[in-house]
Amino acid sequence: MLEKGTTAPDFQLNATPDQKIKLSDFKGKNVILAFYPADWSPVCGDQMALYNEMLKYFSKHDAQMIGISVDSAWCHNAFQQDRKLHFPLLADFEPKGEVSKAYGVYDDEVGESKRALYVIDQEGKIAWSYLSPTAVNPGADGILNALEELEKK
C-alpha cells in the first residue's frame, strides 16, 4: 500500500459505460477510495451499503466516496441500481487492475482488488490507509477518524 503523505496517483476510470471520472476532478475535496473485490459478493454488498448510509457523515467532512473494483461498468451499473447506491463505482476493468496495482492493492492470485481504504486530503495526499482481510467488512470508523484528523490540521 502507498504510504501516508504520498501523492495519490491520478487515474481516470469509467463510472458508467460512457462516463469517466478522474481523481483530479475532486481536487479541493477529501476523497475516500474503497477498493473491493467484487460486486455481488456478500461482504462487498454490505460494505457498500454501509458507505451509502454514511454519505451524510462523509459529506460533513467535504469528502467524496468512490468505490473501485475490477468489475465492468455494466456490472457496477446493475449493482448500483440494485443496492440504490448514491456514489460512483469505478471500473478498474481494462487494463485489468491498473489503478489497484498503482495503489498497491491488487491481488494477483485471484485477479481482484484487495479490500482496502484510502482517505486522500484536499491537496491529493494520502492521509490514511487500511488493508482489511478480504472476508471482513472494515466498517467506517477508520474513515471517520481520518476525516476528523484532517479537520484538526
* Residues known to be catalytic: 44
* Separation between Cα atoms, residue 31 and residue 105, nearest integer Å: 17
The C-alpha cell at 147 is 476525516
* Separation between Cα atoms, residue 5 and residue 66, nearest integer Å: 20
- Find the length of the chain: 153
User: Could you tell me whether strands 116-120 and 112-113 are parallel, antiparallel, or unpaired per DSSP bridges?
Assistant: unpaired
Q: Is 148 helix (H, G, I), strand (E, B) or coil?
A: helix
CB 125 within 8 A of CB 5: yes
20 strand-pairing partners: 14
Q: At what angle do helices 73-83 and 42-59 cross, to 10 degrees?
A: 70
